[in-house]
Amino acid sequence: MKPVAIAVVLALALGFVEPHGYLMEPLARTSIHLDPNLPYNPPYWYDNKGVWCNNVHQDLQYSQCGRCGEAAGNYDASQGGIYDKGALTGNYTSGSIIEVKAGLDNAHFGHFQMELCAQEQETDNCFSLLPVVSASQPLRGENLVCIPFDNPAPPNDIVTVRLQLPAGVRCSRCTLRWTYRTSYPNGAPDWDDCYTSAPAQTFRNCADISIN
Ligand SMILES: *[C@@H]1O[C@H](CO)[C@@H](O)[C@H](O)[C@H]1NC(C)=O
Ligand SMILES: [Cu+2]
């Protein structure tokens, strides 16, 4: 077997792979291998649907989650640059309403939100929430798209959301970030199928986009 195949088999056998979801459109950095037209740089990443902040259950501030889904404060360049900026997978117009898609697998409830870092130099604090105009699943407030199911089957395995880009904001290489906060584990007094305030399993992906 090739090394990649061995790694996949090992990961599956040891239970490391937890496919829950990813940012499908624009395609996340950590899923770039799914588009045959893009260079395999970063190379194939077997766990692209399980970029989950090192599986540290996150508080409401996501304080143990790194910028693009890696472990907080533990950016590891040796992982082949899977969290680094890469190919542009979305080109948009300033002030427009854009359509974004998330792909889900063994998702368990909760919600996701979308943020924009409208500058070339990505920092931990450059992200701001984008208002949701509409989505194929119920919304909560201005920013949360609920995932009201466990292990969604088609067509619920793809969630489409329309977002309002801010007027007058342009960038040649900026970052769109998807953060999916599951409602796992349950048990908190305020638990429901869209939200829990207790530390929860969280997935985060970044995509590289331009806004002209
Ligand atoms: C976005 O524009 C860049 C630069 O022109 C191009 O390389 C890239 O393929 C475009 N991406 C998409 C998804 O249209
Ligand atoms: Cu899980």
Per-residue pLDDT tens digits for 72-121: 876 655 566 778 888 999 999 999 999 999 999 999 999 999 999 999 99
Cα–Cα nearest to 161, from 203, 92, 126, 113: 113
Decide if 199 is inside a domain. Answer: yes
- Find the range with the poorest average confidence among 27-31, 41-45, 186-190: 41-45
Q: How far is CA 84 from CA 14, 121, 211, in A?
A: 27, 11, 19
Confidence band for 14, pLDDT divided at 50, 70 and 90: very low
Distance (Å) from CA 89 to ligand 1 centroid:
6
Instruction: Find out whether the beta carbon of 211 lies less than 6 Å from any atom of ligand 1.
Output: no
CB 127 within 8 A of CB 160: no
- Distance in angstroms (rounded) separating the CA atoms of residues 206 and 23: 8
Q: pLDDT over 70 for what percent of the chain? A: 86
| Domain of 83, in residue numbers | 20-211
Instruction: Find out whether the beta carbon of 139 lies less than 6 Å from any atom of ligand 1.
Output: no
> What pLDDT does residue 76 have?
58
Confidence band for 3, pLDDT divided at 50, 70 and 90: very low
Does 9 score more than 70 pLDDT? Answer: no
Does 153 score more than 60 pLDDT? Answer: yes
Cα–Cα nearest to 202, from 23, 57, 22: 57
Strand partners, 144: 140
CB 94 within 8 A of CB 211: yes
Cα–Cα nearest to 155, from 192, 109, 97, 102: 102
Instruction: Find out whether the beta carbon of 198 lies less than 6 Å from any atom of ligand 1.
Output: no
Where are any strands of DSSP class E within the chain?
21-25, 90-92, 97-104, 111-117, 127-129, 132-135, 139-140, 144-146, 158-164, 171-181, 202-211
- Distance in angstroms (rounded) separating the CA atoms of residues 56 and 40: 29
> What pLDDT does residue 72 have?
85
- If you average pLDDT over every residue of the chain, what do you get? 89
CATH number at 63 reads 2.70.50.50
Contacts of residue 95, Cβ cutoff 8 Å, sequence gap at least 6 = 165, 166, 167, 168, 169
Q: Where are the alpha helices (DSSP H) in the chain?
A: 3-14
Q: How many domains are there within the chain? A: 1
Instruction: Find out whether the beta carbon of 19 lies less than 6 Å from any atom of ligand 1.
Output: no
pLDDT in tens, 155-187: 999 999 999 999 999 999 999 999 999 999 998
> What pLDDT does residue 16 have?
57
45 vs 145, residue with greater confidence: 145
If one residue of 24, 85, 91 were mutated to test the ligand 1 pocket, choosing by the most ligand atoms within 8 A of its CB, it would be: 91
Decide if 34 is inside a domain. Answer: yes
> What pLDDT does residue 17 have?
65
Distance (Å) from CA 39 to ligand 2 centroid:
30
> What pLDDT does residue 1 have?
40
Decide if 4 is inside a domain. Answer: no
pTM score, whole prediction: 0.90
